Amino acid sequence: MIGPHHLTLALALLVSCGAAPELHSEPRALHFSPTRRELPLRLVHRGDQPLPLSRIRLDHRDPDWSAFTVVDPALPRQIEANGEVSLRLRVDLDHFATHRGGHEYRSGGATLTFNADTTLHRIALHFADEAAPTGLRWLRLGLLAALAAGVFALRRRVPWTIALPAALALAIAPLASGLCWTLGIPLGPADLQQCGEGRGGAPLQMLPDADGLGLLLALLLFTAIPGADRISAAALWSRLTLALAILAAVLTTGSLDPQVIVAAQTGLHWGLWVQPFAAAALALAALAEVAAARAHSPFAARVAALGLAALLTTVCLGGADLPLTTAAPGLPHIAAVGLGVAAWVAKVAATCWFLLRVESPRRAVYLVLALVLATLMWNLALGPHETP
C-alpha cells in the first residue's frame, strides 16, 4: 500500500530530476599535460536572468595552486541570460618537472573557485602525462597482435593487399569519443574530447594515432603502386580511386586524426549530410573496392567490406554518435559509452551489408572523380566544414 512517505519520496525525486543546474562548466574538470599547457574553460548559464560572477581565483590551500594561472587580462563580471563566458588557464611545466631541464613530470592539481551570484563553484585542475595505463597499453598490443595474426592466418584466402588495409581501418576507428575514468556521471563533448586525447581517460582505439587516416592512405598507395604490374587494371583503379576519395575526405575535414573527425560530428553533424559530396565519393569508391576484392573471392570481399565499413562509419556516420545519447545528455558516462559502442557495431554491420549487397555502378571511377572535383570546388568556394 502506498503511504505518505512514498509520495514524499517520489516528489523529492521528481524535484531533484527536474531542477537542472542553471550553470555548468565545459569541461567539468581541466586536464593539463606537457603538450596541453593552456586550456579553455566555458561557463554556460541556462537561466533567464544575468548571473553575476565574483572572486574568480585559485584555491591557495592546494599545494600546487601556484603552478596554474588565469591568463585572461580581464575577468568576466557576469554571464548574460542563456549565455556563456570563457576563461583560459595555463600551467607552468617547471613546477611539475622532477628535475631541472628534464622532460619527466609528476602529477598534481589545484582548484579554481568562483562565486556565481551567492553560490560557490569549484573546478578541478589536473596535471599529468598523457601515457595510457600499463594494462590498457598491453590490451591494445594484444588486440593489434590478434589483428596481425588474423591477416597472417588468412594469407591463403585473402591477399595481404586486401587484408592489411582492412585491419588498419579497424585499428584506427574510434569505438567512442573517449573513455573517461569518471564512469558514473554524465559528461559533455568537451570532457569526452579530453579523454579521447588521453587526458583524464583514454581513446577507445586499438591504434590511437593523430595521423591515422594518413597511415591508411599511405598503405593503400603502397599496396597499389608496387603491384601495378601484377594486378588487374580494375583492381588498380579501384585502389587509387579509394585513395583519392580518402584524400578528398581528409581535405574536407581538415584532419588526419580519426578522433578529431568523429568529435566534429557529435550532435548528429555527420559527414553524410554535412559533406555529402565527399561521403558519396567515399561510398562509391568503397563499392568499387569491394567489387575488385570479389573478383578474388567472396570471402576477400567480406574482409574488404568490413574494413571499409569501419572507415565509412568513422568519416561519414559519426562513429559512435547516436540520436538517443544526443537527445538524453544526462546519461551516466558508462551507459553512454555502452550505447555508443553498440551504435558503432550496428553502423559497421549495416554499412558492411550495404557494401556487399549493392553492386558497384559502371564507370564508378568517373563518378568518384566528378564527386571529388565537386567537393574541392565546394570547399574552395565556402571553406571546409560548411553544410550545403
Q: What is the pLDDT of residue 71?
A: 92
Interaxial angle between packed helices 233-253 and 212-224, expressed in degrees from 0 to 180 and rounded to the nearest 10: 160
For residue 85, give the 3-state DSSP assignment: strand
Indicate the Cα dihedral angle 132, 135, 141, 143, nearest 10°: -110
**Cell of residue 386, nine digits:** 560548411
- Residue 215, classified by CB atoms within 10 Å of its CB into exposed (0-12), middle (13-18) or buried (19+), is middle
Indicate the Cα dihedral angle 329, 333, 338, 341, nearest 10°: 80
Q: What is the pLDDT of residue 126?
A: 93
Q: How many CB atoms lie within 10 A of CB 385?
A: 14
Peptide bond into 27 cis (omega under 30): yes
The upper half-sphere exposure of residue 107, i.e. CA atoms within 13 Å in the direction of its Cβ, equals: 8
Q: What is the pLDDT of residue 233?
A: 64
- Render 171-191 in DSSP notation, one character per residue: HH--SSS-EES--SS---HHH
- Nearest-CA neighbor of 69 among 86, 95, 85, 91? 91
DSSP class of residue 28 equals S
For residue 353, give the 3-state DSSP assignment: helix
pLDDT in tens, 193-241: 888 888 888 888 999 888 999 999 998 888 876 554 455 666 777 888 8
Taking 70 as the pLDDT cut, the residues of the chain under it are: 1-21, 100-102, 225-234, 324-329, 381-388
**Cell of residue 172, nine digits:** 584506427
- With a CB cutoff of 8 Å and minimum separation 6, the contacts of 290 are 301, 304, 305, 308, 355, 356, 360
Q: What is the pLDDT of residue 99?
A: 77
- Residue 299, classified by CB atoms within 10 Å of its CB into exposed (0-12), middle (13-18) or buried (19+), is middle
Q: What is the pLDDT of residue 224?
A: 75
Q: What is the pLDDT of residue 122?
A: 93
pLDDT in tens, 98-132: 876 667 888 999 999 999 888 899 999 999 887 77
